[in-house]
Structure 1
Amino acid sequence: MIAGYLAAKYPVKKLVLLAPSRRFLSFKQITRDIGNVVYDGIRGRLRENQIYAHYSKKLRSVPVKANIEFLKLIRHTRSYVHQIKAPVLIAQGQQDNMVPYKTALHLDKEIASEQKEIVLFEKSRHLLCLGSDGESLNKIVLDFLNT
């Protein structure tokens, strides 16, 4: 969303948004993830659960104030989205529990640019670049930037 804000305020040739936090928290996906964590906990495999490991670490390392500032950032940048005129590529994981994948569809309607491309990755989560679709994503971004 910071990149979107900058693209609205300053001339840019192209804009790439990866899992943009226009709207956040996919409660449907969070419910699924919690179910998997509970299931693995019951089975004695909690330490093997990647979601549990990720959020356990995150809860210990990210200060509450940082989350509050993030929410302020989302509110502040929200009003600038309709001013983006540069060609835009939006990539989003459909298994993202932080940003609902439908955010990309909402941004498609809100962004003023005439050239918008949305790529949804069926099995990817929030950290698109680090997931199994990372190589595909890199190619798509590179192609978009080079055309």
Structure 2
Amino acid sequence: MSGAISQMIERGRQGCLLLHGFSGSPLEMVPMAETLAEEGWTVAVAELAGHASPAALARVHWHDWITSAEDAYRALTDRCEGVAVAGLSMGGAVALALASTLQPAAVVAISTPVRLKRLLAGASRLASRLLPYAPVVVKLGPRVREMRPYRSPTRRIPLRATAEVEHLLDAMRAALPRVRAPLLIAQGRRDWVIPRESAREIASLAAQAEPQVLWLPRSGHVATLDRDRELLFREVKAFLRIHLSA
């Protein structure tokens, strides 16, 4: 198993690679992985570079995240005839950047920002000079408390790494006109973390002629663990059935 792959559920000859978000962990993709594996697909969950600890995250550069995903993708293609890629938040940006150079069967971008909010980006750049780490604020509603075991254990993030996220999003926007793979974009209506126009802007920039956009009415940013997760998983499965055969 590739060092970039945290978990693999081996099933058939069609596969799906799942990528977690910034300061997150593979855990936040496990419920989705288990659901997709029910379709007979082999599902791998990657751990992106630097996410073993906050100190490690402070040392990585944005292209290290893409390299992690590429390594996991190639390991999965050694086992599978076709591979789709799905990512949450920053993982969605990595998936889109990867799709501009490789040939995935399909791409799913969940809660993926087209850019950082201006206030967040500016404050992070200023604060990183004064304060190396900031606390992670996690809010899961009462209906999703059962999903808390899947949340990342990380409770602080290196603010320097937010600048690397900005560089990654720059690279993603530049790559989108080369993304021709079938594309599903999902975004929560209650996601305050990313710009509201993200899903539509990604759809407009991608080379894919007819990207699908799925709005999740009751979900915030970590949509794979939120109230509409069953709707999300159902729609992702329906989308991938068209492009992957068990």
State whether structure 2 residue 112 is matched by structure 1 residue 23. no
Question: Which structure is higher in RCO with an 8 Å CA cutoff and minimum separation 6?
Answer: 1
Tell me if structure 2 keeps the 8 A contact 1:26–1:98.
no
Query: How far does residue 26 in structure 1 lie from its aligned partner after superposition?
Result: 8.7
Q: In 2 relative to 1, CA 99–132 (structure 1 residues): closer, same or farther, beyond 3 Å?
A: same
Partner of 2:204: 109
Q: Deviations over 1:29-76 (max 9, x none)?
A: xxxxxxxxxxxxxxxxxxxx938xxxxx97x51011221211121122
| AA at the equivalent of 1:108 | A
TM-score (norm 2): 0.45
Tell me if structure 1 keeps the 8 A contact 2:115–2:166.
no
| AA at the equivalent of 1:50 | K
Unaligned residue ranges in structure 2 (runs of 5+): 1-92, 120-137, 141-152
Q: Which of 139, 163, 171 is residue 50 of structure 1 equivalent to? A: 139
TM-score (norm 1): 0.74
For the aligned residues, what is the CA RMSD? 2.2
Tell me if structure 1 keeps the 8 A contact 2:176–2:205.
yes
Q: In 2 relative to 1, CA 50–77 (structure 1 residues): closer, same or farther, beyond 3 Å?
A: closer
Partner of 2:122: none
Partner of 1:135: 230
Percent identity over the alignment? Answer: 26
Unaligned residue ranges in structure 1 (runs of 5+): 28-48, 52-56
In structure 2, distance between residues paired with 1:79 and 1:12: 18
SS in 2 for 1:80: helix
Query: How far does residue 100 in structure 1 lie from its aligned partner after superposition?
Result: 2.3
Q: In 2 relative to 1, CA 2–50 (structure 1 residues): closer, same or farther, beyond 3 Å?
A: closer
Q: In 2 relative to 1, CA 132–108 (structure 1 residues): closer, same or farther, beyond 3 Å?
A: same
Q: In 2 relative to 1, CA 118–20 (structure 1 residues): closer, same or farther, beyond 3 Å?
A: same
Tell me if structure 2 keeps the 8 A contact 1:93–1:101.
no
Partner of 1:11: 103
Q: Structure 1 runs of 4+ off > 2 angstroms?
A: 23-27
Tell me if structure 2 keeps the 8 A contact 1:26–1:100.
no
Q: In 2 relative to 1, CA 85–100 (structure 1 residues): closer, same or farther, beyond 3 Å?
A: same
